[in-house]
Amino acid sequence: MSATPLTYQLPDHLSSDQFIKQLHTKLSFVVAAQYPLVKTFYDSFDWRLYHASMVLEFNQSESVGVLSLMNIHHPQVLMTMELERMPTFAVDFPQPDFMQQLQLVLEMRALLPVMQLNGDYALVNILNSDQKTVLRLVIENYATLPGRIRIQTIKGYDKHVLALILLLQTEFALQAVDEPLLIEACHAQRKKIGGFSSKLKLRLEPEMRTDDVCRYIYINLLERMAQTEQGCIDNIDSEFLHDFRVAVRRTRAGLSQIKQVFPKQSMGQFIEFFSWLGHITSGVRDIDVYLLNYESYKNSLPEAYREDLEPLQQLLLSKQRRAYEQLARHLTGSVYQDGIEEWRDFLETPIELYEMDIAASLPIKHYADQRLWKVYKRLLREAGNIDPQSPVEALHGLRKTAKKLRYLMEFFQTLYSGTRIKLLLKALKTIQEVLGRIQDLEVQKLALKRFREELRKLNTPEQTLLAIDALINELDRRKNAARFTYTESYEVFSQKKNQQAFRELFASGTQTQT
């Protein structure tokens, strides 16, 4: 039955009441339910359900709320449950099946309403001669879209479905609809489908001027900050701040690495502003990370210690609450608002050519080659001085250089052969992740020591302090293990094949400079 069209559109001249009335002469049925309906589609800010081919639909009437998880391409209900209020996170769902399925896709992301339709709902049970329901029709009218009829099949009664389809197509001249309702509604309301993505999709041409490309990159990043800013203020979920910070970090990498383009005297204030933004958001993000890792922390301990860790979670939650309140004050305050406004003005206001720095008019490909090759060589130089015993600070320095190189490569990647630069990015990402893990575990270990001290002063039971000690030891063990994977990942990154690819991609246009 999978290829059989099961959804039909009601033409403008046929209301659902009229349809039901006309159906009386053709079939035996009962109207099992009929009521005004508010239909709300939920997804995460980055539409994770949609990208996993799922739709979460909450149908509310005065007396009942029914939540259905459906496949977007077939009108097939995967799961359904009655619900009074929509939970925010997958973990808050009362039904284990729903919770598990949604958690797999949504992880830490909150569910948000992405589309709402008002209308009427009717459920019609089609009966056979024994008055047994052999299939159901869900008829929905919407205020802003054409109505739809959806056939709900009942196992073992396929032949009735085919007969009904014939009736709908010949007697009522109804047309089957392929387009999912959510997509149709988004098109009708000119809403972007697919939501937010933190991935940069810049389309660059080799001959573009460097200053134009810089503006394009910065404006793109500024838009991402604007899109995620309110989610940070409202503390919807941890990923808003994460994405906000990624845009800030990329901007900072641009400001520090793409030099000699804009007038030097104008850039100082922006470098300072974005550094401040990095600073005011970093503590909050750290607490988010501790809480996101909390279950993994807990599960890494022997079972007997796990519940003793609870006061740590409470401490982190209260710190998180305060940190977000402070962040909201910053993001709604004048320093941030004025800083962003000035940055936008700067990017949107043309600058006299004579005021620009020497690299402004260079073709971007030429400029990108130079910068990428230079930063790559610096990375190799720094990495040459590192071994598994090097101090954490040296590894952190290397991580920062790797990150700068990665951001630059991501900015300029459309200037280079698609697959080669992607492979190099992947290799770079691997080494960057190892370095990141070492640094994060060190920072987390130090933070845990601070939290332990705070809890000790609050007369927290000794068992909790012991559990935290065990956790600190565990993080130290993981950090040391990660250090040993560094050598291996660096060897992969710096293998001849990759060095050759870096040289061919970036050094060919910069022979005179190298």
Partner 1 sequence: MKIIAVYAIKGGVGKTATAVNLAYLSAKQGLRTLIWDLDAQGACSYYFRIKPKVKGGTKGLLKNKADLDHLIKGTDFDGLDLLPADFSNRNFDLLLDDKKKPTQQLRKLLQQFEGQYDVVFLDCPPGITLLSEAILTAAEIVLSPIIPTTLSLRTLEQLKAFIQANKLDNLQFVPFFSMVDRRKKSHLDYLQAFTEQYPEFLKAMIPNASEIERMGIERMPLTAFDCKTRSAKAYQQLWQELQPII
Shorter beta-carbon distance to partner 1: residue 125 or 251: 125
Query: Least separation, in Å, of the C-beta of 160 and partner 1?
Result: 11
Query: Least separation, in Å, of the C-beta of 94 and partner 1?
Result: 10
Shorter beta-carbon distance to partner 1: residue 80 or 313: 80
The end-to-end CA distance of the chain, in Å, is 65
* Beta-ladder partners of 71: 54
Shorter beta-carbon distance to partner 1: residue 9 or 133: 133
Please give the structure tokens belonging to residue 420.
Answer: 């080669």
Shorter beta-carbon distance to partner 1: residue 25 or 63: 63
DSSP state of 206: T
Task: Report, in angstroms and rounded to the nearest whole number, the Rg of the chain calculated over CA atoms.
Answer: 29
Instruction: Please report which helix (H) or strand (E) contains residue 493, including its range.
Output: helix 462-493
Query: Least separation, in Å, of the C-beta of 128 and partner 1?
Result: 8
d(CA 196, CA 256): 26
Shorter beta-carbon distance to partner 1: residue 81 or 501: 81
Q: Are 40 and 60 in contact (CB under 8 A)?
A: yes
Shorter beta-carbon distance to partner 1: residue 121 or 373: 121
Candidates 246, 244, 219; CA nearest to 230 is: 244
Query: Least separation, in Å, of the C-beta of 58 and partner 1?
Result: 17
Q: Are 57 and 39 in contact (CB under 8 A)?
A: yes
Query: In a 3-state reduction of DSSP, which class is residue 214?
Result: helix
Instruction: Please report which helix (H) or strand (E) contains residue 447, including its range.
Output: helix 418-457
Phi, psi of 71 (to 5 degrees): -80, 135
Please give the structure tokens belonging to residue 456.
Answer: 């000790």
> Strand 112-127 to strand 77-82: parallel, antiparallel, or no bridges (unpaired)?
unpaired
Shorter beta-carbon distance to partner 1: residue 155 or 450: 155
- Residues listed for the chain: 514
What is the Cα 427 distance to its own chain's centre? Answer: 23
Query: Least separation, in Å, of the C-beta of 84 and partner 1?
Result: 16
d(CA 230, CA 338): 16
Q: Are 48 and 72 in contact (CB under 8 A)?
A: no
182: left (phi over 0), alpha (psi -120 to 50) or beta: alpha
Query: Least separation, in Å, of the C-beta of 219 and partner 1?
Result: 50
- The residues in 126-145 that bind partner 1, with binding defined as CB under 8 A, are 130-133
- The residues in 68-127 that bind partner 1, with binding defined as CB under 8 A, are 80-81, 95, 97, 125
User: Which distant-in-sequence residues (6+ apart) come within 8 Å of 212 by Cβ?
Assistant: 364
Shorter beta-carbon distance to partner 1: residue 6 or 468: 6
Query: Least separation, in Å, of the C-beta of 93 and partner 1?
Result: 12
Amino acid symbol at 92: D
Query: Least separation, in Å, of the C-beta of 61 and partner 1?
Result: 17
Query: In a 3-state reduction of DSSP, which class is residue 34?
Result: strand
Query: Least separation, in Å, of the C-beta of 81 and partner 1?
Result: 7
Query: Least separation, in Å, of the C-beta of 198 and partner 1?
Result: 37
Shorter beta-carbon distance to partner 1: residue 80 or 257: 80
Shorter beta-carbon distance to partner 1: residue 52 or 127: 127
Binding track, positions 145-184, relative to partner 1; x by CB under 8 A? ---------xxxx---------------------------
| Interaction site with partner 1 (CB under 8 A) | 80-81, 95, 97, 125, 130-133, 154-157
